[in-house]
Structure 1
Amino acid sequence: MRVLGIDPGLRNLGWGVIEVDGSRLRHVGNGICHSVGTELATRLLSLHEQLTEVLQRFSPDIAAVEKTFVNKDAVGTLKLGQARGIALLVPAQFGLEIGEYAPNSVKKTVVGVGHADKNQIAHMVKMQLPGVQLAGPDAADALAIAICHAHHQSHNRMKVRA
């Protein structure tokens, strides 16, 4: 099973693809979609086009997206929500099932604690995907989201069989 993880962002949208075979995880690819332009609509379109290319290139079976958190800046939260809409829309256009995870849930699954920092996340992603070359912190977060989804999918399959 090939899992796409997406870390939504209006400037930088991280993505990571892993393959899952039982309990084995293998890195397939990771990167960052950088929005282009100054107008919001143009930036969202550029993210849509770049993420579409990722799905066409890697053909994932399922996807996972980090949930938006609310912060002090309402305008920033709204813009992040719009980028998250692109992160949900593109996999849906490819007919993929999409899991959604809170940031603390991803951190707890991958690192073991819900308030891990970006360095801890990158370190644990590298531990679980030996040899991976991370495109940046947003790509590391996206791979962590994919790993989280793979673990939750595995856990849910075991519950169904029991």
Structure 2
Amino acid sequence: MSRILGIDPGSRVTGFGIVESAGRGFRYVTSGVIRTASATFPERLRIIFEDLTALIHEHQPEALSVEQVHVRHNVSSALKLGQARGAAICAGAVLGLPVHEYTPAEAKQALVGQGSADKQQVQMMVRLLLELPTAPPEDAADALAMALCHLHQSPFSRRVAQATAKQWK
């Protein structure tokens, strides 16, 4: 069984979600958001780091799956997002967790079957896959999608690595 912490980084709201593989399915552990909006920017980064560190200690995930930064229009926002992402990655790395990175399109493709899926489709698939009574909030759903994406990709990645290793022997 694998337990993965998914992160949807943001400088004001960082989503998190923890999912376990359970046989051929998945099991929901927890999810939520870290809100930092009223703090100064350096304080926001500290809050993200400390809250995720506490979450990792409490739930003992085996790996961290984090959304890659994508620049749309505002470079300043992308830089702040990158710094929030860095605080999240450091929380996992300091505690020895392997960090895996996926684009939003990769997570959407893994869950919905198309990389251009909208937020509501992601929320609905997260709810269905984890058998939740209601769809989680957007940021938590995106974080759960990151964790599910990694659990979906891991078996495939292991098979590719094994096949490649055999080919080169």
TM-score interval, smaller chain? over 0.9
Corresponding residue for residue 107 of structure 1: 108
With the length of structure 1 as denominator, give the TM-score of the two structures: 0.93
Q: Percent identity?
A: 39
Count residues in correspondence: 162
* Counterparts of 1:132 and 1:160, CA distance in 2: 37
Give, in angstroms, the shift of residue 36 of structure 1.
Answer: 5.1
List alignment gaps of at least 5 residues for structure 2: 164-169
Aligned Cα RMSD in Å? 1.5
Moved more, 136-145 or 126-135: 126-135
Give 2:153's aligned residue: 152
Report which of the two structures shows the higher radius of gyration computed on alpha carbons: 2
Matches of 2:46 and 2:130 in 1, distance apart?
Answer: 31
Aligned counterpart, 1:59: 60
CA distance in 2, matches of 1:152, 1:72: 30
Measure the CA separation in 1 of the matches of 2:72 and 2:161: 37
Distance of 1:96 and 1:134 partners within structure 2? 28
Q: Is 1:91 the equivalent of 2:92?
A: yes
Which stretches in structure 1 are left out of the alignment for 5+ residues? none
Q: Is the 8 A contact 1:33 1:50 kept in 2?
A: yes
In structure 1, how many angstroms separate the alpha carbons of the residues matched to 2:10 and 2:98? 21
Q: Find the aligned partners of 2:89 and 2:133 in 1 and give their Cα distance.
A: 25
Deviations 1:88-133 (A, max 9, x none): 1111011011110011111111111111111100000011100255
| Correspondences of 1:7-156 after superposition (within 5 Å) | 7-35=8-36, 37-131=38-132, 135-156=136-157
Distance (Å, rounded) in 2 between the aligned partners of 1:32 and 1:7: 9
Q: What TM-score do the two structures reach when normalised by structure 2?
A: 0.90
Q: Distance in 2 between matches of 1:125 and 1:28?
A: 13
